[in-house]
């Protein structure tokens, strides 16, 4: 490709709201262009990268026994009602109505469609296992589209689904997918961490995420450097210490004028927040929920939501708190009735806690569970933090940030039961098919690869996903034979099967080298009057500072050799 003919040009300016490196570089390099929030055009160079990643994904899925499909984006809303996700995913579904007033959604994922297909085509145990997949555009009306390709409202996902007769079959497939994912990420030259994950609205049993470790990641990963425990904060657990504050003492009321937060209470009474009981109020599917947790800990709303089995969870409004008869700033479940109380297990492992007295400006000391109040249920609903102890080995947990590029789930029969996707066994008995699902953010992976492979000048594409392999950069000078040599090399390289971006512009060396660094093509070949004096060209890898002089007669073979290895 001749740069002079490229549709999109490089630019110095990045969008004002581009706060991640990949977003800035993809726009500046002319690889993507925004049409609307979270909606992008893949310009020719960007599309080449996307296609290369897609092909790697396709090869690895095929190798794992997958069969490629293309399912409709346009999906009747009825199947989403049947699965229950018209409601549970309503916040991200794009809805539309056709001329006959039939309602549709734009597919954010395809469990519903594929399970209906399985119901139609899978009959007996002989038809199983199956591993359909597709690489396709998805639509989600994300509340906060951001960071270019990282969180789009229209994005490319690889979604695969497994169908098995039993859990043993599912386990084999799940493991195969773990390996296929690892192969994909290795081939794309991104390093990932596998973490335990929450199953979210999809529901199911086991679930793991593949995280590209990067500062700009939206997810926090809690991991143990000593053993291999790693989990998304949404799901992470830590070993909570028992806080022994002596034998339970009688409750004692203290005046706490003008005091309401845990920090204020702790400072006022000269105790550590670990000796306090914090009350947090939620509304779960319209019902008031009183949550208590040790004062130094934070409620993990995802754990809480899972424990409550609700679809809508949010902090209660001031009005809802008043209506429930709770004194905000001095509340505790001691002596209160009439609503659901959920306790984090931390409060059952501590003695003599300070809590609210349920009257203004008053607290009580020496609250003990279960002597002084009962929770409807006790569970781990706390956010694990760096510095906490690992539940597996007692090591000290650390926190890092990651970009979720893949998410795999064991769905079991959640969808097969809803869509009556059953198979008959050898004896004629009928069973719901055991399912798994496996998502990979293909367009997000493109951005994540840049987060891990760049410098202050631009992108450093890993060879297997680079838009072109070779950047041919002649430095023209009148009276020299740079132009004809470069034209010949361009033709020769292409004949040798190399993918070449040819900077045939009359610009200055500075402009050309800056663009070469920005575009990030891995292998650069510069032709100048100086190198031609020695019948040579200058060869440089984008990832290295040092250049070398290579005879013209050897350069094509050298490039081919590097690409092969
Ligand atoms: P997230 O937690 O980031 O919102 P998710 O859990 O909703 O993602 P899944 O439903 O598991 O995502 O989708 C599978 C994969 O698709 C994700 O692992 C991610 O890589 C990618 N993905 C999800 N949402 C987006 C998006 N809005 N833009 C780009 N890629 C996405
Ligand atoms: Mg996810």
Helix (H, G, I), strand (E, B) or coil at 291: strand
Shared domain for 442 and 480, answered yes or no, is no
One domain, residues 412 and 504? no
Verify that 355 and 228 share a domain, yes or no: no
φ/ψ region of 19 (left if φ > 0, alpha if ψ in -120 to 50, else beta) reads: alpha
149 CA closest ligand 1 atom index: 29
Whether residue 262 sits in one domain with residue 212: no
Task: Answer yes or no: do 166 and 128 share one domain.
Answer: yes
If the chain, 565 residues long, is cut into consecutive pieces of 10 residues, what is the mean pLDDT of each piece? 94 88 96 95 98 98 97 97 92 96 97 97 96 98 92 97 97 97 96 88 76 91 93 93 91 90 90 93 94 95 92 92 87 87 95 91 92 93 95 94 95 95 96 97 97 96 97 94 96 97 96 97 97 96 96 96 91
pLDDT at 204: 61
Helix (H) or strand (E) holding 559: helix 552-564
Determine contact, residues 451/214, Cβ cutoff 8 Å. Answer: yes
Within the chain, how many helices (H) and strands (E) appear?
Answer: 15, 31
Residue of the nearest CA to atom 21 in ligand 1? Answer: 441
68 located within any domain: yes
441 C-alpha vs ligand 2 centroid, how far in Å? Answer: 10
**401 CB neighbour count, 10 Å cutoff:** 15
Residue 328: what pLDDT?
Answer: 83
Please give the pLDDT value at position 565.
84
Can you tell me which atom of ligand 1 is nearest the CA of 409? 11
Q: Which atom of ligand 1 is nearest to the CA of 440?
A: 15
Distance of CA 208 from the midpoint of ligand 2 (Å): 8
210 and 162 belong to one structural domain: yes
- Please check whether residue 387 lies inside any domain of the structure: no
Atom of ligand 1 nearest to the CA of 152: 28
- Find the CATH number of the domain harbouring 344: 3.90.960.10
Query: Which CATH number belongs to the domain containing residue 175 in this structure?
Result: 3.30.930.10
Q: Note whether residue 73 is domain-resident.
A: yes
Which residue, by CA, sits nearest to atom 5 of ligand 1? 407
473 near 525, Cβ under 8 Å? Answer: yes
Residue 200 Cα to ligand 1 midpoint, Å, equals: 11
Q: How many CB atoms lie within 10 A of CB 146?
A: 16
Find the ligand nearest to 444 CA.
1
User: Whose C-alpha lies nearest to ligand 1, atom 24?
Assistant: 151
| Eight-class DSSP state of 109 | -
Supply the pLDDT for residue 528: 96
Judge if 474 and 325 occupy the same domain: no
Question: Is 440 in contact with 61 (CB distance < 8 Å)?
Answer: no
Same domain, 489 and 426: no
Q: What is the pLDDT of residues 142-197, one digit of tens each?
A: 999 989 999 999 999 999 999 999 999 999 999 999 999 999 999 999 999 999 99
Q: Is residue 496 part of a domain?
A: yes
| pLDDT of amino acid 216 | 86
Q: How far apart are CA 238 and CA 247, in angstroms?
A: 26
Residue 218 alpha carbon, nearest atom of ligand 1: 3
* Residues 318, 71: Cα–Cα separation, whole Å: 46
The number of domains in the chain is 3
Q: Which ligand is nearest to the CA of 403?
A: 1
One domain, residues 526 and 417? no
Using CB distances shorter than 6 Å, the residues near ligand 1 are 109, 140, 142, 151-152, 155, 157, 200, 404-407, 439-441, 443-444
Q: Which residue has 């080995």 as its token pair? A: 393
Residue that terminates a domain, selected from 347, 379, 411 = 379
- Confirm whether 29 is domain-assigned: yes
Q: Do residues 460 and 543 make contact, with C-beta atoms less than 8 angstroms apart?
A: yes
Determine the atom of ligand 1 nearest the C-alpha atom of 209: 18
Going by the DSSP 8-state scheme, the letter that residue 454 receives in this structure is E
Q: Which ligand is nearest to the CA of 219?
A: 1
User: How far away, in angstroms, is 133 Cα from ligand 2 center?
Assistant: 17
Ligand 1: residue whose CA is nearest its atom 19: 441
Single residue among 329, 349, 379 that ends a domain in this structure: 379
pLDDT value at residue 11: 92
Q: Which domain holds residue 369?
A: 252-379
CATH at 534: 3.40.50.800
User: 72 and 102 in one domain?
Assistant: yes
Q: Ligand 1: which residue has its CA nearest to atom 31?
A: 441
Rounded CA separation 510/340 (Å): 68
Q: 317 and 362 share a domain?
A: yes
pLDDT tens profile 412-444 = 999 999 999 999 999 999 999 999 999 999 999
Angle between helices 442-452 and 44-63 (to 10 degrees): 110
Residue 96 lies in a domain: yes
Distance 403 CA to ligand 2 centre (A): 10
Other beta carbons less than 10 A from residue 141's beta carbon: 16
Question: How far away, in angstroms, is 133 Cα from ligand 1 center?
Answer: 16
- If you measure from the C-alpha of residue 75 to the centroid of ligand 2, how many angstroms do you get, rounded to a whole number? 22
**C-alpha 220 to ligand 2 mean position (Å):** 13
Shared domain check, 553 and 404? no
């Amino acid at each position: 490709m001749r740069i002079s003919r490229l549709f999109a040009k490089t630019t110095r300016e990045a969008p004002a709201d581009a706060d991640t490196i990949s977003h800035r570089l993809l726009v500046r390099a002319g690889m993507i262009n925004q049409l609307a929030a979270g909606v992008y055009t893949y310009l020719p160079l960007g599309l080449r990268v996307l296609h290369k990643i897609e092909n790697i994904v396709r090869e690895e899925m095929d190798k794992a026994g997958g069969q490629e499909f293309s399912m409709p984006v346009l999906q009747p809303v009825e199947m989403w009602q049947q699965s229950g996700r018209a409601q549970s995913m309503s916040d991200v579904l794009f809805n539309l109505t056709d001329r006959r007033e039939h309602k549709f959604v734009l597919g954010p994922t395809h469990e519903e469609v594929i399970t209906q297909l399985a119901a139609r085509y899978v009959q007996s145990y002989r038809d199983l296992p199956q591993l359909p997949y597709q690489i396709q555009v998805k639509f989600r009306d994300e509340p906060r589209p951001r960071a270019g390709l990282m969180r789009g409202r229209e994005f490319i996902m690889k979604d695969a689904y497994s169908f098995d007769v039993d859990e043993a079959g599912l386990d084999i497939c799940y493991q195969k997918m773990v390996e296929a994912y690892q192969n994909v990420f290795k081939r794309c030259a991104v390093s990932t961490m596998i973490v335990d994950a929450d199953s979210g609205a999809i529901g199911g049993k086991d679930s793991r995420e593949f995280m590209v470790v990067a500062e700009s990641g939206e997810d926090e990963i809690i991991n143990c450097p000593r053993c291999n425990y790693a989990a998304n904060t949404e799901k992470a657990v830590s070993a909570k210490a028992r806080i022994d504050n002596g034998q339970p003492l009688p409750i004692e009321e203290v005046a706490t004028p003008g005091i309401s937060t845990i920090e204020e209470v702790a400072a006022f009474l000269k105790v550590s927040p670990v000796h306090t009981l914090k009350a947090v109020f939620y509304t779960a599917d319209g019902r008031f929920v009183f949550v208590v947790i040790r004062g130094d800990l934070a409620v993990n709303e995802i754990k809480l939501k899972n424990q409550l089995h609700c679809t809508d969870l949010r902090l209660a409004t001031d009005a809802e708190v008043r209506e429930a008869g709770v004194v905000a700033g001095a509340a505790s479940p001691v002596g209160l009735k009439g609503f659901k109380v959920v306790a984090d297990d931390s409060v059952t492992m501590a003695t003599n806690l300070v809590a609210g007295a349920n009257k203004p400006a008053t607290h009580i000391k020496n609250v003990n569970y279960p002597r002084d109040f009962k929770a409807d249920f006790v569970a781990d609903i706390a956010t694990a933090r760096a510095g906490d102890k690992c539940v597996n080995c007692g090591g000290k947990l650390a926190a890092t940030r990651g970009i979720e590029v893949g998410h795999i789930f064991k769905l079991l029969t959640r969808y097969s039961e809803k869509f009556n996707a059953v198979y008959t066994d050898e004896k004629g008995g009928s069973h719901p098919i055991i399912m798994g699902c496996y998502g990979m953010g293909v367009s997000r992976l493109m951005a994540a690869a840049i987060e891990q492979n760049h410098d202050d000048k631009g992108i450093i594409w890993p060879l297997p996903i680079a838009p072109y392999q070779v950047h041919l950069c002649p430095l023209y000078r009148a009276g020299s034979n740079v132009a004809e040599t470069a034209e010949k090399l361009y033709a020769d390289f292409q004949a040798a099967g190399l993918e070449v971006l040819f900077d045939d512009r009359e610009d200055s060396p500075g402009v050309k080298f800056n663009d070469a660094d920005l575009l990030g093509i891995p292998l650069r070949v510069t032709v100048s009057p100086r190198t031609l004096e020695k019948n040579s060209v200058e060869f440089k890898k984008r990832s290295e500072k040092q250049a070398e002089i290579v005879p013209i007669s050897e350069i094509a073979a050298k490039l081919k050799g590097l690409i092969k290895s």
